[in-house]
Structure 1
């Protein structure tokens, strides 16, 4: 038996992330092995989860991952832990198409009980019909209790407990309205700034959880069996023995948006070495280069001044080296990036085009890229754009939204480089034939 739960909410902004971080830290402080998960494609919440729990957080996503792969990943990480905590995405039933891709669908598929976080600001007993609706709307989702956020006083919580009793949902506690448990934000999501004192922040929320939430009762209600996983074997590469590739992954303050399972899959293929385009002067010995997304726009001067690394990356690719570059990684390979300050910063110069942070506009959503016979799945989230020019590479793939509408998200193929704005997921054996084809090419 393990404790496992999904933290859902009536709507975005209810405090899922705040409560999740506090609960992860509170349980970790008790000496429990806590395994965090995140519903959906978010790569920033998972980093905060890891900092709060001391274990890598893993994405579970019904658009990018097959049902079999989700179950295998969940069991593999949850089974060795004392408790598995999955943070939901948006409102409990919000998906990319109705309920498809929602936290509720994930909870139903994995049979995980749900604790509902409710924003109690400016409401009291009126939460009763809301709780009743969430409990009974979809019987395959088991709502075992509610935790309230932004509670003004014990008297306020008294009315919320009344509502829970009449709705048939157990009240498990609350977080008081408090300014110092607000997470700072930036334009690409929750802050990862070095001057944000995360440790003290997580401890403050954990103290509130310990004081105001019935943690022992929550664990009791969430107790459920977790089956041992069956290890999947083989990489699918036909001509390359497992474990022989030299894989270099960019990882620093500018490049850090990765899916944990993608890296785990690369580790099946060979030795993964991390390097920094900000501070290192040259690439490690490399058979495959991965440049993930991140915040290159915040480090343009440093990236541009590190000409030794820019030259090394360009030489590697011009000499036929294999590489995958996503979003910020793709921008780094452009001729230059125009920053928010209006200045132009030279970059690696592999792709003969310019990325810009001027006139920023959000591009967001799931993407399917049809590259010849291969289907690539991922997620797009950025404010930058490519400056239109006659010599810009054409896209080698046709892109579609989650609802099947064609969109203009590009995928560039230059020599042995694939690059684009989409953060791709390739750890699922059911859908990663494109990666094998690319590495064998």
Structure 2
């Protein structure tokens, strides 16, 4: 038996990320090995989790991943941990298509109870109706406890505590509002600022949590039989040389994507910002990130850009990586910065518009899944989606999202998840 739970909320903005980070740090400070997970395709929350727990956070996603893969990942990373904590995504029941891929669906699938974080700043006994609805809406869902956030007085909390008791849900405490523990706003919803001392913020959040929340009761309420993990025999690594862009401009990478790439050969990392020599490699992987925040440095590294134009191996590029392979990127002020010129596309931070959602990409007979999240747009796009390629959203609606495929390049705005599909990736890339 070990404590396992999913921290969720009725809606975004209730404070579930701050509570998650506070719980992770509180347990880590007690000397407990805690394994964090993130429901959904988010890149930033896992970075925060990893900092708070001292243990790398893993994405679990029932839209992008087959069920067997989700179970395997959860068992694999829970094995050896004293406590496993999943941070939910959006509201508890919000998914790609109704509840598909939602926090509630994942909770029931893994038989993990929910700790609900409720923003009760402007709520009193009406919390009983909200909790009753969330408790009974989805068969099989277990809400083990509730934390009331943004509650500033014990009197207010007593009313909320009575509401929870009348519904049959344990109230674990309340958290007064405190400016010092708020995570700063994100660049495009996805940025960790180098100027922010996140470690201090997380420590302050843990101190705050320990004053008002019964962490021991939380752990006792959420004890469940641990999943059994059977380790598979290691496969011999291939002989490909793989180079992955990794620096402040390119860092949106799923751990399991790296794990499956390591099965294909040796991996090394390089920085398009700082390295002037392109590594000798059979496959270059440019993941997404923040190239728009580092355009002068990327454009100034002409040595690397010129070497890319003569590179003959395979290239996989996602979102920011694709932007870097284009002819140019225009920043928010209208300044144009030349890029690698491997794709006839020019992207721009002017006229920003959010493109967001899960994607299915059919490339001939191979299906790759991923998601799209960006504000930049094409200023010029003379490249056409490769023949035999179709892009659909989570509702199976056909989209006009371009996917660029040449003899040696696969690139698009999509962030692919291929941690369960190395065969499909090899076939698409021709390696």
TM-score (norm 1): 0.95
What is the alpha-carbon distance in structure 2 between the residues aligned to residue 232 and residue 99 of structure 1? 32
What is the alpha-carbon distance in structure 2 between the residues aligned to residue 285 and residue 7 of structure 1? 44
Shift of 1:264: 1.5
Matched, 1:314 2:309: yes
Q: From 367, 383, 402, give the equivalent of 2:359.
A: 367
Q: Secondary structure at the match of 1:418?
A: strand
Q: From 254, 258, 270, give the equivalent of 2:265.
A: 270
Kept in 2, the 8 Å contact 1:183–1:190? The answer is no
Kept in 2, the 8 Å contact 1:96–1:402? The answer is yes
Q: Which moved more, 1:192-201 or 1:393-402?
A: 393-402
What is the alpha-carbon distance in structure 1 between the residues aligned to residue 396 and residue 233 of structure 2? 32
Q: 1:260 maps to which residue?
A: 255
What is the alpha-carbon distance in structure 2 between the residues aligned to residue 31 and residue 314 of structure 1? 50
Matched, 1:348 2:340: yes
Q: Secondary structure at the match of 2:55?
A: coil
Kept in 2, the 8 Å contact 1:153–1:176? The answer is yes
Q: 2:98 maps to which residue?
A: 98
Q: 1:89 maps to which residue?
A: 89
User: What's the CA shift string for 1:46-94, capped at 9, x where partnerless?
Assistant: 1111111111111000110000000000000011100000000111111
What is the alpha-carbon distance in structure 1 between the residues aligned to residue 402 and residue 115 of structure 2? 39
Kept in 2, the 8 Å contact 1:365–1:380? The answer is yes
Shift of 1:244: 2.2
Aligned residues: 430
Q: 1:17 maps to which residue?
A: 17
Matched, 1:289 2:279: no
Q: 1:305 maps to which residue?
A: 300
User: What's the CA shift string for 1:83-141, capped at 9, x where partnerless?
Assistant: 00000011111111111111111000100011001011111111011111111222311
Q: Secondary structure at the match of 2:275?
A: coil
Q: From 318, 323, 348, give the equivalent of 1:331.
A: 323
Counterpart mapping for 1:164-313 below 5 A = 164-232=164-232, 242-313=237-308
Q: 1:119 maps to which residue?
A: 119
User: 4+ runs of 1 displaced by more than 4 Å?
Assistant: 232-235
Q: From 399, 402, 414, give the equivalent of 1:407.
A: 399
What is the alpha-carbon distance in structure 2 between the residues aligned to residue 245 and residue 194 of structure 1? 34
What is the alpha-carbon distance in structure 2 between the residues aligned to residue 63 and residue 29 of structure 1? 34
Shift of 1:227: 2.5
Kept in 2, the 8 Å contact 1:184–1:190? The answer is no
Shift of 1:167: 1.0
Kept in 1, the 8 Å contact 2:39–2:86? The answer is yes
What is the alpha-carbon distance in structure 1 between the residues aligned to residue 227 and residue 161 of structure 2? 35
Unaligned residue ranges in structure 1 (runs of 5+) = 236-240
Q: From 387, 394, 399, give the equivalent of 2:385.
A: 394
Q: From 413, 419, 422, give the equivalent of 1:427.
A: 419
TM-score (norm 2): 0.97
Shift of 1:356: 1.0
Kept in 2, the 8 Å contact 1:380–1:423? The answer is yes
What is the alpha-carbon distance in structure 2 between the residues aligned to residue 408 and residue 325 of structure 1? 18
Q: Secondary structure at the match of 1:369?
A: strand
Shift of 1:439: 4.4
Unaligned residue ranges in structure 2 (runs of 5+) = none
Aligned-pair RMSD on alpha carbons? 1.4
What is the alpha-carbon distance in structure 2 between the residues aligned to residue 78 and residue 363 of structure 1? 34
